[in-house]
């Protein structure tokens, strides 16, 4: 066999092609800013396509933070349990550490680890909620595609008018009231997006409650 001749396997697809992972889909896309939006933000804003995308991103945010937090907690709890259950110093020095002591230490570490990690999991859940919820309450969701059966538009229009016209006597809540239709409000002010807190409305104080009752 000629050692200098190229081998067929050298030109196979497995040897010559470099696979690249598929690009991740964008969580948010650009939408046209409305007249009520801050002009300094530019003509376009980033918003979730719909409430399902917004809810899925929130859940994913919480899950990732909880997973990372619990991973660190396992290491910390393991070190803490080992420290609390270690034998007395004099037994180590005198070399009188028996098999019974090993079994007792192992049982002690299991109990300490379980208690420590249970408390850590609760703290991790609260920490994840604390980190994700403010951002998603203020995140924008595209206003197109919403149906009256999904969102209480009277509540939304009241919330938007309260925020946008709080300092204007002629455009306060009293001007719109809760009886104005969402279609009239949206047509007049060209609302292109809602914020998460607008979607939640006045009946839901946090995102978790909204997801449990609405997006079951």
113 in the same domain as 63: yes
Confirm whether 17 is domain-assigned.
no
Residue 94 has pLDDT above 90, yes or no: no
157 in the same domain as 96: no
Q: Which of 110, 138, 166 is the last residue of a domain?
A: 138
164 in the same domain as 118: no
Residue 93 has pLDDT above 90, yes or no: no
Residue 73 has pLDDT above 90, yes or no: yes
Q: Which domain holds residue 189?
A: 26-48+140-216
191: number of Cβ within 10 Å? 20
How far is Cα 50 from Cα 196, in angstroms, rounded to an integer?
11
Confirm whether 85 is domain-assigned.
yes
What is the pTM assigned to this prediction?
0.67
- Please state the three-class secondary structure of the chain as a single string: CCCCCCCHHHHCHHHHCCCCCCCCCCCCEEEECCCCCCHHHCCEEEEECCHHHHHHHHHHHHHHHHHHHHHHHHHHHHHHHHHHCCCCHHHHHHCCCCHHHHHHHHHHHHHHHHHHHHHHHHHHHHHHHHHHHHHHHHCEEECCCCCCCCCCHHHHHHHHHHHHCCCCHHHCHHHHCCCCCHHHHHHHHCCCEEEHHHHHCCCCCCHHHHHHHCCC
Q: Which residue has the higher pLDDT, 99 or 60?
A: 60
71 in the same domain as 121: yes
Q: Which of 77, 105, 138 is the last residue of a domain?
A: 138
- Given this model, what pLDDT does residue 204 score? 63
106 in the same domain as 55: yes
134 in the same domain as 57: yes
Q: Which of 82, 116, 138 is the last residue of a domain?
A: 138
What tokens does 36 get? Answer: 């009520």
- Between 134-143, 164-173, 183-192, 199-208, the lowest mean confidence (pLDDT) is in 164-173
Give me the percent of the chain exceeding a pLDDT of 70.
66
The string of pLDDT tens digits covering residues 123-140 is: 999 999 999 999 999 999
**Which of 24-28, 79-83, 210-214 ranks highest by mean pLDDT?**
79-83
- Split into its structural domains, the chain has a count of 2
144 in the same domain as 132: no
Confirm whether 148 is domain-assigned.
yes
- Given this model, what pLDDT does residue 11 score? 72
150 in the same domain as 44: yes
- How confident is the prediction for the chain on average, in pLDDT? 76
């Amino acid at each position: 066999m000629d050692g200098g001749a190229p081998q067929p396997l050298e030109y196979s697809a497995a040897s010559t092609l470099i696979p690249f992972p598929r690009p991740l889909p964008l969580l948010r896309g650009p939408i046209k800013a409305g007249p009520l939006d801050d002009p300094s933000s530019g003509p376009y804003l980033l918003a979730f396509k719909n409430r399902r995308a917004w809810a899925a991103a929130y859940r994913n945010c919480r899950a990732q933070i909880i997973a990372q937090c619990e991973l660190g907690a396992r290491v910390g709890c393991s070190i803490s349990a080992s420290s609390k259950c270690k034998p007395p110093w004099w037994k180590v020095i005198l070399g009188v550490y028996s098999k019974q002591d090993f079994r007792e230490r192992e049982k002690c570490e299991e109990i300490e680890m379980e208690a420590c990690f249970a408390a850590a999991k609760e703290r991790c859940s609260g920490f994840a909620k604390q980190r994700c919820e403010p951002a998603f309450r203020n995140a924008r969701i595209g206003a197109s595609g919403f149906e009256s059966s999904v969102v209480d538009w009277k509540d939304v229009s009241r919330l938007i008018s309260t925020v946008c016209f709080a300092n204007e006597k002629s455009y306060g809540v009293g001007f719109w009231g809760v009886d104005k239709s969402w279609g009239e409000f949206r047509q007049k002010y060209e609302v292109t997006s809602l914020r998460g807190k607008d979607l939640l409305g006045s009946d839901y104080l946090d995102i978790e409650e909204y997801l449990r009752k609405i997006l079951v």
